[in-house]
Homo-oligomer: A and B are copies of this chain.
Amino acid sequence: MAGEKKLRKSQAPGVKRRERKDTRPQEIVAAAFEEFATHGYAATRLEDVAARARVSKGLPYLYFKTKEELFKAVVRSVITSHFDAIRERMERTDLSVEAFLKGPFLAFIQDLVGSKRAFIARLLIAEGHKHPELTAFYYEQVVSRGIETMTRLIDRGIERGEFKPTPLRDYPQLLFAPVMTAIFWRQLFERHHHLDTDGLLRTNIELLTDAIRAPGRKGDAR
C-alpha cells in the first residue's frame, strides 16, 4: 500500500529545471488538452492532467486558478495562429477564388478535420454554453473573423466575374459546414462506417463552386 520509491519524473533529462519552468504552463495545457479531448470537461480529473504533465497535483493551480481557467487556456491555445494564417493567405493570395478554395482552403479544412484541434469542436459544443465568456472569445477570435474573411472572398469572386451573385455570399458557413460533419463522424461513427472525409469536403466545395460559377467560366480555371 505504497512504500516503494517512485521513479520520479524527469521526462527530459537534458533539460534543466530552470528551462522547464518556463514551459510548464504549456506542458500543463497540452496535457489538459488531451484529457479534455478524451473525457470531456466534467469527467476530466485535474489529477490526471497533472500526472500526464508529469507534475504534482498542486502545480496546475499555480498557473490556473481553477479547472475552468485551465479549460479556457486550453481552448485559447488551440485557436491561435492556425486560423490567423489561413485568413491572411486568403487576403493576400493571387490565386483565383475558385483555385484558392480548391487549393489552400480545402487543404486547410482537410488538415483541420484530421488534426487534434478538431477535438476542440466537441469541447465547445459540449461545454460552450456553460462558459459564455469563452464562447464569446471564440466567436470573436475565430468565428466572426472567419465569416468576414470568407464573405470577402466570395465577394471578390463576384467582383472579378468568377462567380454569379448568389445567396452563398450571405451564408459563407456553408463552405465550412461539412467540416463539423466530418469531425463528428470521425469521432462518433467512424467505427461503424468509414467516411472519406477528404472526399466529402472536396465534393462540397466542388458542388458549391459549380453552383455559383459565372456562366462561361471553366471549372478548373486558375
Q: Which residues of A contact B (CB under 8 A)?
A: 1-2, 25, 39-43, 63-64, 73, 122, 124-130, 135-136, 139-140, 143-144, 166-168, 170-171, 173-174, 176-178, 180-181, 184-185, 187-189, 192-193, 195-196, 199-200, 203-204, 206-208, 210-212
Which of B126, B171, B188, B206 interacts with A204 by CB under 8 Å?
B171
List of B residues within 8 angstroms of A41 by Cβ:
40, 42
Number of copies: 4
Q: Distance (Å) between the CB of A9 and the closest chain B CB?
A: 17
Q: How far is the CA of A166 from the CA of B207 in the complex (A)?
A: 9
18 more CB-based (< 8 A) A-B contacts, given A124-B188, A144-B192: A1-B63, A40-B42, A40-B130, A43-B130, A125-B125, A125-B126, A125-B187, A139-B192, A166-B207, A167-B206, A168-B203, A171-B203, A173-B195, A176-B181, A180-B181, A206-B211, A207-B211, A210-B210
List of B residues within 8 angstroms of A208 by Cβ:
207-208, 211
List of B residues within 8 angstroms of A139 by Cβ:
188-189, 192-193
Which chain B residue has the least Cβ–Cβ distance from A140?
B192
